[in-house]
Amino acid sequence: MDERSIEALQTSLAGVCGHVNAQHAQLVRLAEKALAGDGWKQIGIHSPTHWLAWQAGISTGTAQKILAVAKGAEMHPQVMAAFDAGELSLDQVALAAKAPAYTDAEICGLAKLLTVQQLSMVVRKYPFTTDEEIARRAAAADGDTPLEVSAPEPSPGPVAGSSVSMGVDADGVGQVRGVLAPDEYRVFETAMREARDALFHGRDPDVTWADALIEICHRSLDTVAEPSRRDRFRINLYVNVDGTTTFADNWRIPDPIRHRLFCDGTITAVGLVGGVPVNVGRSQRIVPDRTRRLVEHRDLGCRVPGCSQSRWVQVHHIIHWDADNGPTETWNLICLCPRHHRLHHQGRLGITGNADLTTGTPGAVVFTDIRGSPLKPAADPAAPTSPPPEPAGRYVHPLGERLDRRAVHFNEPHPRRAS
Ligand SMILES: [Zn+2]
Ligand SMILES: [Zn+2]
């Protein structure tokens, strides 16, 4: 397909999506009507979901989604207006409707920009204040009831004050000490209990907490997607006695791979005297763990539009670290899945902009394809400008009668006529 056909295909797709969305909105409006007037109550129908799934020929899950949106429609006027206009899909609206009413305008704007996976992540993880709490605060501000000072909302990010130290004593015995914030401790304890329980199975019951911790470490290492990753990502920095440094005296690997390794690798200083390594320093990650956590928390997975991978992400330097001296600061760092990271360093995916800015604002990160056209941040249905085409046939909903599976039969192709 040439560039123009691809563009035409995508324009048609956007048009159809707009119609589909607007029609889904109509379906929600009808469901709303059915709920309000008890229109769903018919003999043998035990719930609105049952009724809608039957009448619309859709799955119970889809019917539940439509009804949930119908029930919350009043709370989200802006989201619903965008839905009616065909600008948001049913899946996007179903998620947006889970956010409290006061977020209506913001969640509406966000929903247009994010993929469904991203929006889902946002709605699940964001520590929303409930609408009830907002109402209570408003009443207190009116002077009805004194405002109680409530505990601050737990921060979704890492809590300052958590620290873990580790090291080896003179006998080579490892020492691990740590202080964890309450929420982080709960995660830790749950993981430890689970690991110890898993070890109990079929083994002697003398499993200690230390065994559990080692089990967790092994599991973590085992899940590294590419087994060679840890060693491949170790880069030696050669320090000559005269103070000059080189990454290696002789790179055998091609530039694109080297640039990629420098994005998110571990670096080890090797002291050289007369070109002979004499001293190996402590390994350091190019992206320090704390910065890495900030970036991972901000991005919640690979940032490439439409990519849903949230595990095994690598931190990429938008301005390359080794070739262009790109700083290891959050605005210059972005999470990418290994596949997209590789594509970028092969020159097949362009990434520019400031990673700290919200998608869509000027200066924010823009991804471009191999031809240099920007990738859209999410599905972009066009608002319908004409009524949808009249269906050629007439939709008749399923009968809903009991199905006798013995009555169902598919004819197999005749062996002699089959090619
Ligand atoms: Zn990179
Ligand atoms: Zn990706």
Name the closest ligand to CA 336: 2
Cα 231 to averaged position of ligand 2 atoms, centre (Å): 23
Given phi > 0 = left and psi -120 to 50 = alpha, else beta, which region is 38? left
**Burial (CB count <10 Å: 0-12, 13-18, 19+), residue 71:** middle
Backbone phi, psi, residue 331, to 5°: -65, -25
Tokens representing 117 are 């996976």
Cα 297 to averaged position of ligand 1 atoms, centre (Å): 18
Name the closest ligand to CA 310: 2
Cα 345 to averaged position of ligand 1 atoms, centre (Å): 6
Asked whether the beta carbons of 355 and 315 are under 8 A apart, the reply is: no
- Cα separation values, 298 from 123, 280, 338, 355, Å: 14, 35, 18, 9
Report residue 353's pLDDT band, with 50, 70 and 90 as the boundaries: very high
Name the closest ligand to CA 319: 1
Cα 336 to averaged position of ligand 2 atoms, centre (Å): 5
Distance, CA of 379 to CA of 93 (rounded, Å): 13
Tokens representing 177 are 């000490």
pLDDT digits (tens, 9 = 90+) for 152-187: 444 444 445 678 888 766 655 678 888 888 888 888
pLDDT digits (tens, 9 = 90+) for 2-52: 888 988 888 888 888 888 888 999 999 999 998 888 888 776 677 888 888
Name the closest ligand to CA 302: 2
Cα 321 to averaged position of ligand 1 atoms, centre (Å): 8
Cα 312 to averaged position of ligand 1 atoms, centre (Å): 14
pLDDT digits (tens, 9 = 90+) for 124-139: 877 788 888 888 887 7
Q: Is residue 382 scored above 90 in pLDDT? A: no
Please report, as a single letter, which amino acid is at residue 44. G
Cα 233 to averaged position of ligand 2 atoms, centre (Å): 19
Cα 296 to averaged position of ligand 2 atoms, centre (Å): 13
Distance, CA of 94 to CA of 346 (rounded, Å): 38
Q: Which residues in 205-338 belong to E strands, given as ranges?
A: 234-240, 245-246, 266-273, 276-285, 314-317, 333-336
Q: Is residue 269 scored above 80 in pLDDT? A: no
Task: Output b/e per residue, 8-46; b: 16+ Cβ within 10 A.
Answer: eeeeeebbebbbbbbebbebbbbbbebbeeeebeeeeee
Name the closest ligand to CA 306: 2
Q: Say whether 259 sits in a helix, a strand or coil.
A: helix
* Residue whose C-alpha is closest to residue 389's, from 10, 9, 13, 20: 20
Cα 341 to averaged position of ligand 2 atoms, centre (Å): 7
pLDDT at residue 167, rounded to an integer: 75
DSSP 37-90: TTTT--TT--SHHHHHHHHHT--HHHHHHHHHHHHHGGG-HHHHHHHHTT-S-H
pLDDT at residue 411, rounded to an integer: 67
Give how far the C-alpha of residue 294 lies from the chain's centroid of Cα atoms, to the nearest Å: 15
Report residue 405's pLDDT band, with 50, 70 and 90 as the boundaries: low
Name the closest ligand to CA 337: 2
Q: Is residue 150 scored above 60 in pLDDT? A: no
Report residue 330's pLDDT band, with 50, 70 and 90 as the boundaries: very high
Biggest CA-to-CA distance, the chain: 93
